[in-house]
Structure 1
Amino acid sequence: MLHRWFEKVTAGCARFTGRPAMFALCLLLAGVGIGAYFSNNDHFLNGANLSISIVTLLLLPILQATQNRDGAALQAKLDELISANRRARNEMIGIERDSEDKIERERPDRATTRNQGNSE
């Protein structure tokens, strides 16, 4: 249940961060920060600093969750294309979970791949 709630919240926040309202909010926070800096009031400066830090820390997991979801969707699409293509190696499905060294070993030689494509 918590996982489903987190997905809904992060998806909604990710959609909001791409809208003009978020840009306006960022401009407002930047204005508050600049105003706090020039006000010579330590309480105002600390409050502005805290609010900007909180917004930044809240955006980090939202952006990471969005990136993880986009990456997983892209991998699923690529896996589907690999399984649908008769010439593709099915061993490549799920290779993103392997170590970087193994991925590099499995990577086809670009010159060989290019020559095979030209011969057909």
Structure 2
Amino acid sequence: VPGKPVLTQTARGLLPRSVPHVDAAANAGRAALLVEALTRRPELLLPATEDRLHQEYRAPAMPESAALVERLRGDGIPAVISGAGPTVMALADADTADKVEALAGTDWA
């Protein structure tokens, strides 16, 4: 959780009124992939958590969150902006939890 909040109304207002069908289909497919990744194949968590519907549009309102997600994903750690943001959710096991904390730094709760 970052120190600077973003109002849900503000975050929702940044979303486009419509998205390309290909992006909506990609996210729907990733939802199914996420179930497989969480239940049987954790190696699929990184691709299963890719987003094409909201994170890029909301990034200007939460640059610290977007930057953290990019750092984590760049190191192979599945991470997303949670809901309307700006909270970041990282999916880490015991082996990567310390790495998540190190990449987040001290400005995150």
* Higher strand proportion: 2
Structure (1/2) with the larger helix percentage: 1
Q: Larger radius of gyration, structure 1 or 2? A: 1
Higher relative contact order (CA 8 A, sep 6+): 2
